[in-house]
Amino acid sequence: MCRNRQTNLALKRLLFILAAVALAPVLVFHFVLLASEAWQVIGHTQTGDTVSISSVRVLKKNQRVALIRVEYKNPGELPQGGPFVEMRARVHFNCNTGLASPTTEWFYSRDRNGRFVVTKKASHDNQFGKAPEGGFADLVSRSVCNESK
């Protein structure tokens, strides 16, 4: 009888450990998303899209990295597809030249239900933030580069 009890206890511990290992990546991803939710609205595009930034990091030689979020007023068709109501990206800024370019981090675009409908990884995108993607590049670059160090 005691041996069955020990076996059941060991089995329960094993199941608990397996569940914890399986859920750990999901929880970490969720907490990372929550941590990056301190969005600051910095303005609107000519078409009324809301532009926000979060997690600005100052680097050497007047370089910066920030999370960018654009909430499209009207669902838009972008070069990546669509319709999208939101786009997020981690962006590198060269404040000496005013150039913004996405880093090798993922881009996220969502539909109205909050599902990620496109993910993209790019190290260079000449059209990032230009007219086809909402025309927000200059607004974001000025805001990020003008933040106090």
- DSSP secondary structure string, the chain? -HHHHHHHHHHHHHHHHHHHHHHHHHHHHHHHHHHT---EEEEE-TT--EEEEEEEEE-STTEEEEEEEEEEEEEEEETTEEEEEEEEEEEEEETTTTEEEE-SSEEEEE-TTS-EEEEEE-S--TTTTSGGGTS-HHHHHHHHHHS--
pLDDT at 145 over 80: yes
Q: Is pTM beyond 0.85 here?
A: no
Confidence of residue 31 (pLDDT cuts 50, 70, 90): very low
Confidence of residue 25 (pLDDT cuts 50, 70, 90): low
Mean pLDDT, the chain, rounded, equals: 75
Report yes or no: 38 and 54 within 8 Å, Cβ to Cβ. yes
Of 94, 89, 84, 140, give the one whose Cα is nearest residue 117: 84
